[in-house]
Amino acid sequence: MIYFRSVTAAIVLSAALIGQAANAIDLPPENQPELRGLAIAQESKKRDAGFNDSISEMEMILTNANGDVSTRKMKFKTLEVPNLEDGDKSLMVFEQPRDVAGTAMLTYSHILEADDQWMFLPALKRVKRISSVNKSGPFMGSEFAFEDLSSQEYAKYSHSWVRDEPCGELTCHVVERKPLYEHSGYTRMISWIDTVDFLPRKIDYYDRKDQLLKTLTFSDYRLYLNKHWRAHNLFMVNHTTKKKTNLTWANFAFQTGLTEADFSQNSLKRSR
Amino acid sequence: MLKLKFTSLCLSASILALAAPQALNAAEVFFEGELSLESRAFLKAPASPHGKRHYGSVSTLLEMGIADDTNTHNFIIKGFARGDSEDDNRSHADLREAKYVFVRDSYELIVGIDHVFWGVTEFAHIVDIINQTDAVESVDGEQKLGQPMVRTSYVSDYGTFTGFYMPLHRPRNFADRQGRPASGLVINDNHETYESKHAYEQSEFALRYQNSLDAVDIGLAYFDGTARDPIIDPSNVLDGTIVPYYPLLTQISLDTQATLGPWLLKLEALQKDQLGEKTARAVTGFEYSFYGLAGGSSDLGVVVEYLWDEQQEEAAHPFANDLGIGLRWTANDVDSTTLLAGAIIDLDHQSMGLSLEAERRLSNNLSLSLEARFQTHVDESDLYLTSIKDEDFIRIELTTYF
C-alpha cells in the first residue's frame, strides 16, 4: 500500500480570502506595516466567514520540465469551525490515480499546533492516525506542499504590509507573511491581495535559504451565495525545477448541511 | 452450504436496500474493478514432490455501489476471485463485501458481508479479530475473507460505540499440496471441527469503543465467539491432511497510539480465554519519520516493535518473543515510489526473516509491485521457521484498473 504523508486536506487555498465588493475599509496607516498587514488578512477572513460547510472537486495536472503530464482527482468536504483557536475540519477522498482511489484523509486543523490527521487505507480497511509535521513535503508529487494546501488561517503567520501596486486591472496590497508554525519549508511569502474584494491574486514563496522558489497565481474567481469568492484555477510554478502544477476546482456547493458527524472516523471509513 | 448461507444473507441485504424507498432514487452508482497478473518464483526446490518452483496467477476485484442522493441508504458489493496455475486451493472466489449501509446523523447500521480492521501496529495485527484471514492470498495475513454481520455504531462526544452480531464463523483457507510457501503440513481446506456444538453456526458478538483524545487514539474491544486461529493437531488426520480445530474464544483487547510530532507510540494488548486457559499477548513499539531526507523530498520512516505472547512456545503463531524492525522509504515522486524493508528477529532462537516490498505507479491505470521474503538464519530449535526455511520467494504483480 502506498503511504501518503500528512495531507493537510483542509482544502481551501482560497478560503481565507473571500468577500463581496464592499466599501473600502479603514486600514491602519502605512507607517504601521505589521498592523496594516494583519488588518488586510483579517478583512479577507471576515469576508468569507459563515460559509458553514462546502463540497467541491479538485483536479491537479502535473507537468515536469520535459512536458510529461500526470493527473490527480480528489473530492473534498469542509466544515467551517467558528472557534478562533482551531482551523476547519476537512475530508478528502482520492479518485485518481486509480491505484490510490478510495484513499481518504480526515484533518482537524489547528492554528499553531500540529493538525490531527487520520488516513483511511481502503484495501486494508485501516484507519491510521498519521504525523502532520511534514508541512514542506510535496503533495502527491505536485509542486504544492502540504502547507500550501492547508487551512490558511491568518494567525498562522506574521504579516507586514510592504506597498500597494497595480496587479493587472486591479490594485493590490503587497503583504509579506512569515510562518509562525514549526516545520515550514519557507522563510517568507509575498502575497498580492486586491484592494476591492481582498482576494489573493499571487503568492511568491521563498525557501529556507530565502531564494525565490515558487510562484502561485490565482484566477477564475467566481462568487457563491453572493458572498464567498473561490478561485477556480491555481497555477504553481517551481522556478528551480521548472515543474508546474495546474489546480482547478469545480462543482462547489455551500451550506449543504454537513455536521460534525460527517467528519468522524466512521465517516472516513465510508467516505468513498 | 456456507455459500448458500452467504447468498441468502446478500439477498436479505438487497431486499432491505430495495425496501427503502429512497434507495430507488439512486443518485450515485459506481462500478470499478482491477485485474492483476502475478508471478511467484521460489528460490529453492520444493520439499514436497507436489510443489513447484514457479506459480503464475491472475486475480480480479470488482466493486459496485449504489447510494441515494443523501447517502442515507447505500448498497455495496465487492467480489474477489483468483485463478492460480498450480494451487487449486489458491484458485478461489470470495465476496469481500455485500452490504446495506444505513446512515443517519450519528447512527450507522450495516447488514451483510463486510470487512473491519482494528489496531495500530505494523508487524502483527493481534487485536484485529472480526474477519478471517485469507491465508492463501498473502504471507503477511493482511488479506481477509468477508464476514457476515449486523453492525451498528453510534458516534458521540464521548467516543464511538459499535456492536457486532455475526451469525456464522468462516474457517481459514489453506494452500493445497501443490501450494507454496509450504510448511510441510498439508491442512484440509474443506473440513474443520469446532468446539461449539453449533459448529460454524455458533453466534458471535463483539463490542468496540473508540475515541481520540488530543494526541491519543484508543480502542477497547470485547469478542465472544469462535477463534479465527485454528489449532493444528497433526494427529487429527483425514485423507492424509490435517483437520483444523476451532475452539470457542472470548477476548478483551486494547489498542492505542500516541501521535507526538514525528513519533507514533503504539500498543496492542489482549487477554484471551480459550479452552479454559487465560493468556495474554501484546505488541508495542514506535514509528519515527524523517521528512525531507538530505534536503530532498523523500521521507524515511523507522518502525520498531516488540511482539510477545505469554504462551511462548505453545502459541499458535511464531511471534512469542520477537523484535520487528522496518524501514519505509517514500520518494514522494510523481509515481509514488515506495520501498519497505522489514526484519523480524526471534529473540529465543535468533532466527531472522527478511522482507522487501516495492511499489510504483506506471500510469494512471497501471501499477507494479514487488515482494521478496527470505529466511536469513533459521535455528533448528525454531520449529515454525525450520518448516519454511526453504520457502524463500520473489513475487511480482502488475495491476490494471478499469
User: Half-sphere exposure of B305 toward its Cβ, with a 13 Å CA cutoff?
Assistant: 29
Confidence of residue B1 (pLDDT cuts 50, 70, 90): very low
Residue A253 is predicted with a pLDDT of 94
Share above pLDDT 90 across residues of chain B, in percent, rounded to a whole number: 76
Residues of A near B (Cβ–Cβ under 8 Å) read 1-3, 5, 62, 64, 70-71, 96-101, 114, 116, 124-131, 133-134, 136-138, 140-141, 183, 185, 259, 261, 264-266, 270, 272
Q: Does the distance separating the beta carbons of B257 and A129 come in below 8 Å?
A: yes
How many Å lie between the alpha carbon of A227 and the closest alpha carbon of chain B? 26
DSSP label at residue B170:
-
CB-based contact B264 A114, cutoff 8 Å:
no
Query: Is this prediction's ipTM beyond 0.95?
Result: no
Q: What are phi and psi of B91, to 5 degrees?
A: -75, 105
Q: How confident is the model at residue A153 (pLDDT cuts 50, 70, 90)?
A: confident
Per residue in B250-283, pLDDT tens? 999 999 999 999 999 999 999 999 999 999 999 9
Q: How far B50 CA sits from the closest chain A CA (Å)?
A: 32
What kind and span of H or E run contains A46?
A: helix A33-48
C-alpha cell at B291: 521528512
B349 within 8 A of B385, measured Cβ to Cβ? yes
CB spacing of A5 vs B330 below 8 angstroms: yes
Helices and strands (H and E) in chain B: how many: 3, 22
> Please, are residues B139 and B374 in contact by the beta-carbon 8 Å criterion?
no
Instruction: Please give the share of chain B, as a percent, with pLDDT higher than 70.
Output: 93
Residue B119's identity, in one-letter code, is G
Question: DSSP string of B187-249?
Answer: B-SS--EESSTTGGG--EEEEEEEEEETTEEEEEEEEEEE-SSPB--TT-EETTEEPPEE-EE
Q: What is the pTM (predicted TM-score) of this model?
A: 0.90
CA distance B124 to B135: 14
Report the distance separating Cα B243 and Cα B64, nearest Å.
36
pLDDT bracket for residue A24 (50, 70, 90) = low
Q: Which of the four CATH numbers 3.40.50.150, 3.30.70.2170, 2.50.20.10, 3.40.50.620 does domain A2-269 have?
A: 2.50.20.10
Counting one residue from chain A and one from chain B, the pairs whose CB atoms sit within 8 A come to 107
B256 closest CA partner among B303, B220, B296: B220
- Please indicate whether residue B397 or residue B318 has the higher confidence score (pLDDT): B397
Which residue would you say has higher pLDDT here, B54 or B24? B54
d(CA B138, CA B395): 10
Cα of first residue to Cα of last residue in chain A, in angstroms, is 17
Q: What integer pLDDT is reported at residue B315 of this predicted model?
A: 86
Residue A99: left (phi > 0), alpha (psi -120 to 50), or beta? alpha
DSSP conformational letter for A132: -
Rounded to an integer, what distance in angstroms lies between the CA atom of residue B59 and that of residue B83?
6
Q: Quote the pLDDT of residue B47.
A: 87
Cβ-nearest to A131 among B34, B116, B289: B289
Res A105: pLDDT: 95
Which residue in the block uniquely carries the three cell numbers 523480524?
B344
Residue B389: pLDDT band (50, 70, 90) is confident
The stretch B198-217 carries a mean pLDDT of 96
Collapsing DSSP to helix, strand or coil, B310 comes out as coil
CA pair distance A124, B220, nearest whole angstrom? 20
Q: Is the pLDDT of residue B7 over 80?
A: no
Strand partners for B158: none
The larger pLDDT score, comparing residue B26 to residue A176, is at A176
All three cell numbers of B91 = 484458485
**Residues paired with residue A60 on neighbouring β-strands, in sequence order:** A72, A247
In this complex, the residue of B108, B332, B401 whose CB is nearest that of residue A99 is B401
Residue window 252-281, chain B: list those with CB within 8 Å of chain A.
Answer: 257, 259, 261-264
- From A156, A157, A115, A108, select the one nearest A134 (Cα to Cα): A115
Judged against a pLDDT cut of 60, whether residue A1 lies above it is answered with no
pLDDT exceeds 80 at position A56: yes
Q: Using pLDDT thresholds of 50, 70 and 90, give the confidence band for residue B234.
A: confident
- Could you tell me which residues come within 8 angstroms of residue B70 by beta carbon, excluding any fewer than 6 positions away? B22
- For B325-371, the DSSP string reads EEEEEE--STT--EEEEEEEEETTT--EEEEEEEEEEEETTEEEEEE
Question: With contact defined as beta carbons under 8 Å apart, do A172 and A162 qualify?
Answer: no
* pLDDT recorded at residue A17: 37
Residue B238 has pLDDT above 50, yes or no: yes
- Name the minimum distance, in Å, from the CA of B311 to any CA of chain A: 28
By DSSP bridging, strand B245-246 and strand B193-194 are parallel
| pLDDT tens, residue by residue, B318-374 | 899 999 999 999 999 999 999 999 999 999 888 899 999 999 999 989 999 999 999
Q: Convert A99-111 to b/e letters by CB count within 10 Å (16 or more is b).
A: bbbbbbbbbbbbb
Q: What sign for the dihedral angle of Cα A141, B262, A124, B123?
A: positive
The alpha carbon of residue B143 is apart from the nearest alpha carbon of chain A, in Å, by 7
* pLDDT at site A182: 87
Calculated CA dihedral for residues B309, B312, B313, B314, nearest 10 degrees: -70
Asked if A140 and B108 come within 8 Å (Cβ–Cβ), the reply is no
Tell whether B59 lies on the interface with A, counting CB pairs under 8 A.
Answer: no
pLDDT at B252: 98
Q: Is the pLDDT of residue B244 over 90?
A: yes
Q: Which of A18-22, A106-110, A242-246, B64-68 has the highest mean pLDDT?
A: A242-246
Contact between residue B330 and residue A100 where contact means Cβ atoms under 8 Å apart: no
Predicted confidence (pLDDT) per residue in A235-264, tens digit: 999 999 999 999 999 999 999 999 988 999
- Whether residue A228 is predicted with pLDDT greater than 60 in this model: the reply is yes
- Using one digit for the tens of pLDDT, what is the confidence trace for B107-153? 999 999 999 999 999 999 999 999 999 999 998 889 999 999 999 99
Per residue in B288-325, is it b (16+ CB within 10 Å) or e — as a string? ebebbeeeebbbbbebebbbbbeeeeebeebbbbbbbe
Taking the C-alpha atoms of residue A200 and residue B394, their distance in angstroms, rounded to an integer, is 52
Quote the DSSP letter at residue B312. Answer: G
B301 pLDDT higher than 90: yes
Q: Does residue B106 belong to the interface with chain A, where contact is any CB pair within 8 Å?
A: yes
pLDDT of B18 reads 47
Residue with cell 481518504: A104
For the stretch B9-50, pLDDT in tens is 444 544 454 444 444 455 789 899 999 999 999 999 998 889
Q: Determine contact: B332 vs chain A, CB below 8 A.
A: yes
pLDDT band of residue A111 (cuts 50, 70, 90) is confident
Is residue A57 a contact partner of residue A44, using CB atoms and an 8 Å limit? no
Phi/psi of residue A38, nearest 5 degrees: -65, -40
A162 class by beta-carbon count within 10 Å (0-12 exposed, 13-18 middle, 19+ buried): middle
Mean residue pLDDT of chain B comes to 91
Per CB-CB distance under 8 Å, the chain A contacts of B401 are 98-99, 101
* Residue-level pLDDT at A3: 39
Residue B135 and residue B174 in contact, taking contact as beta carbons nearer than 8 Å:
yes
Judged against a pLDDT cut of 80, whether residue A78 lies above it is answered with yes
**pLDDT per position as a tens digit, A191-204:** 999 999 999 999 99
pLDDT tens digit string along B159-177? 999 999 999 999 999 999 9
Per-domain residue ranges of chain A: 2-269
Query: Average per-residue pLDDT in chain A?
Result: 88
Residue carrying C-alpha cell 520501498: B339
The DSSP letter of residue B379 is -
Residue bearing cell 505488541? B283
User: Which residues in chain B are contacts of A125 at CB distance < 8 A?
Assistant: 115-117
β-bridge mates for residue B279, sequence order: B272
Q: Which residue of A has its CA nearest to B360?
A: A2
Q: pLDDT higher for B289 or B27?
A: B289
Under the banding of pLDDT at 50, 70 and 90, the label for residue B179 is very high
| Nearest-Cα residue of chain B relative to residue A71 | B364
Task: Check whether B399 has a pLDDT greater than 60.
Answer: yes
A26 burial via Cβ count (<10 Å: 0-12, 13-18, 19+): exposed
B chain contacts of residue A70, beta-carbon cutoff 8 Å: 334, 364
- The pLDDT assigned to A83 comes to 78
- Take residue A127 and report the three cell numbers written for it: 484507519
Nearest beta carbon to residue A137 from set B117, B332, B401: B332
pLDDT of residue A112: 83
Q: In angstroms, rounded to a whole number, what is the distance separating the alpha carbons of residues A22 and B124?
A: 59
Of A1, A131, A264, Cβ closest to residue B261? A131
